[in-house]
């Protein structure tokens, strides 16, 4: 008998896949996740052991570091992506669309190309340590937004 598949991963969380409904039934200002084309469901056993090779697609900017590090994929994948979207939303809400574009360019400027000469808009970099291992680090442009938020400069 196959195990129940109660754990899901959307796999493509990005602003374009979040719909806003001003009014839907009795609900107001409802955000709904759309485009479930990459959604996969897993059993309790398989939910945290998905090999990177089994990922069908993703959005480059909002992908988590483990995707570039060839690590196993779990539901944390979606948490990272949603956090990136929420951070951009906060920048937009507090400072406007122009600042969201500037934030994107700042992240691109900081990119350490994974592929020869190709800079990608993402929220992290992968760096090699002295002992040859690879570690992910959040880009300073992302940290600076958080610091500005915490200190109240953005409020």
More confident residue, 46 or 89: 89
DSSP string, 44-108: TTTTT-B-GGG-----TTT--HHHHTT--B-THHHHHHHHHHHHHHHHHHHH-HHHHHHHHHHHH
What is the reported pTM?
0.73
Residue ranges per domain, the chain?
7-151
pLDDT (0 to 100) of residue 95: 86
Residue 106 has pLDDT above 70, yes or no: yes
Rounded to an integer, the average pLDDT of 77-97 is 89
Domain 7-151 classification at class level: mainly alpha
pLDDT (0 to 100) of residue 63: 85
């Amino acid at each position: 008998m196959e195990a129940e598949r109660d754990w899901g991963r959307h796999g493509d969380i990005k602003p374009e896949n979040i719909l806003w409904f001003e009014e839907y039934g009795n609900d107001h200002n409802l955000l709904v996740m759309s485009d479930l084309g990459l959604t996969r469901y897993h059993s309790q056993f398989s939910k945290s052991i998905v090999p990177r090779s089994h990922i069908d697609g993703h959005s480059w900017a909002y992908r988590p570091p483990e995707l570039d590090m060839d690590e196993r994929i779990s539901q944390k994948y979606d948490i990272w992506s949603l956090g990136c979207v929420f951070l951009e939303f906060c920048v937009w809400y507090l400072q406007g669309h122009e600042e969201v574009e500037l934030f994107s360019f700042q992240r691109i400027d900081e990119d350490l190309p994974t592929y020869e000469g190709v800079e990608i808009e993402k929220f992290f970099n992968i760096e090699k340590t002295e002992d040859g291992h690879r570690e992910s680090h959040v880009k300073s442009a992302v940290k600076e937004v958080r610091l500005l938020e915490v200190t109240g400069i953005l409020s």
